[in-house]
Amino acid sequence: MSERRILVLDEGTTSTRAMLYAPDGRRLGMAQAEFTQYYPRPGWVEHDAAEIWDRTLACARDMVALAGGADRIAAIGITNQRETVVAWDRRTGQPLAPAIVWQDRRTADRCAALREAGQEGAIQRRTGLVLDPYFSATKMRWLLDHAPAVAAAGDALAFGTIESWLVWKLTGGLHVSDASNASRTQLMALDGKGWDQGLCDLFGVPAPALPEISDNIGAFGETRAEWFGQPIPIRGLMGDQQAATIGQGCLIPGDAKATLGTGAFVLANMGKVVPVSRHRLLGTLLWRLSGETSYALEGSVFVAGSLIKWLRDELGLIATAQETEALARSVPDSGGVAMLPALAGLGAPHWRAEAMGVIRGLTLGTKRAHIVRAALESLSHQIHDLAGAFAADGMAWRTLRIDGGMSANDWIAQDMADILGLPVDRPADVETTAKGAAMLAAVGSGLFPSLPSAFAAMAAGGRRFDPALPDARRTERLRGWQALLDAG
């Protein structure tokens, strides 16, 4: 087997990472750089796309140097936070406005107006997605209405999600978006064939400003020689949650995974069956390979790791995320404290954009450990809400495979198994989003003939967490959570 490496660019919500993989799946190195989160108004979340590009390029150069030069890299795979929107000028390659992040809620009124006009049913049938500010289309329209440089750009306007922006910058002008990311804009029908003109007209987004939709594995150009000394081919593109599904080996219908990152996202492989949810889940494109489409049922929790970051940065209850496990174990329960972590509204299956965070049950005896434990418990409860919706839609989980930064916390993994009443499996390498992107690029560069063969060669072992919480205690917690939801 070739000893050439795979370079993965993993574009998260709070940082960019470049990772170097060997063909056997070993992660040989990682460079990471945080970028600035901007909150100009309540409910607004923005990024500087130029900063993301600069940090990405610097991290990628570190990994190319580690590999021994660009000629040692077989291909690049890119995975990214999905619904975030970048607008740039085709002539200059410069952003025209701050990027609007997937967490941003500024278009809630526009979504409500479309809902009141009776459009939600048709939109969900066409795209698999509910009307919510989470998705990209209303963000694009907002930029056209409120960012003068975007409105004035005319034919020079380019819209894209983060992978589209990075490919443009890396190649010097290729404007593409892979089908998994395009499916999250609310401008592409679930058939995955292309942009839907009717949806573009409904949301007021000019189709010529959008990128060409591509498969997830393919030839996406080469990097400009100036970036790494010589060109490197780009061979895999995929949204982060779909990439984690591949990295977890959820390659057959019925397999389900939960990625616990800034948010928490559950996907269940539906195969060739176009998903239709009657319980407020999302139907989404899982991948498009050689023009053939596979689908997933998805549930999205907006606040997971970002809640821990909030406890650290805004409340000062912890110094590091790693402290949370010891704190949760230091008390027998949450001491009557309950937390509704609706810091960016509530996602599936509730879809309450107006919801706000609540901490209830505080007394003079409340310790910081109780608050931290209540925060961690809230994640298990939200995943349990999703489990009920998946089961009601005919996709009950047999087990749940977890990954992402928060899954490294043993207490969280065990609590999730306890509340779900299901085994929870965690891989040895929880960075399965990047691993999935590496598998795509490895297949695209010819290192492996298929995704199953890439997974067989690159996957690692793992650990299983079995339910252990007594039924009475589990029922008590679930009732408390439901009361909090009803009150919030």
* Domain-located, residue 322: no
Q: Is the peptide bond before 349 cis (omega within 30 degrees of 0)?
A: yes
* Domain-located, residue 189: yes
Reading the block at residue 281, the tokens are: 């889940």
Q: What is the pLDDT of residue 193?
A: 78
The boundaries of the domain holding residue 68 are 5-240
Q: With pLDDT > 90 as the criterion, what percentage of the chain qualifies?
A: 88
- Asked whether the beta carbons of 194 and 188 are under 8 A apart, the reply is yes
pLDDT tens track for 397-417:
999 999 988 999 999 999 999
- Separation CA 370–CA 461 (nearest Å): 33
Number of domains the chain is built from: 1
pLDDT tens track for 152-181:
999 999 999 999 999 999 999 999 999 999
Q: Looking at the predicted structure, is the pLDDT value of residue 1 above 60?
A: no
* Domain-located, residue 405: no
* Domain-located, residue 472: no
* Domain-located, residue 339: no
pLDDT tens track for 438-454:
999 999 999 999 999 99
Could you tell me the pLDDT band of residue 323, with boundaries at 50, 70 and 90? very high
Mean per-residue pLDDT over the chain, rounded: 94
- Separation CA 155–CA 411 (nearest Å): 53
* Domain-located, residue 166: yes
Q: Looking at the predicted structure, is the pLDDT value of residue 488 above 90?
A: no
* Domain-located, residue 350: no
Residues in the chain: 488
Could you tell me the pLDDT band of residue 331, with boundaries at 50, 70 and 90? very high
pLDDT tens track for 200-225:
999 999 999 999 999 999 999 999 99
280: left (phi over 0), alpha (psi -120 to 50) or beta: left
Could you tell me the pLDDT band of residue 291, with boundaries at 50, 70 and 90? confident
59: domain CATH number?
Answer: 3.30.420.40
197 SS3 class: helix
Q: What is the pLDDT of residue 268?
A: 95
Q: What is the DSSP letter of 274?
A: P
* Domain-located, residue 74: yes
- Separation CA 301–CA 207 (nearest Å): 30
Q: Kindly state the average pLDDT of the residues 348-355.
A: 88
Q: What is the pLDDT of residue 452?
A: 94
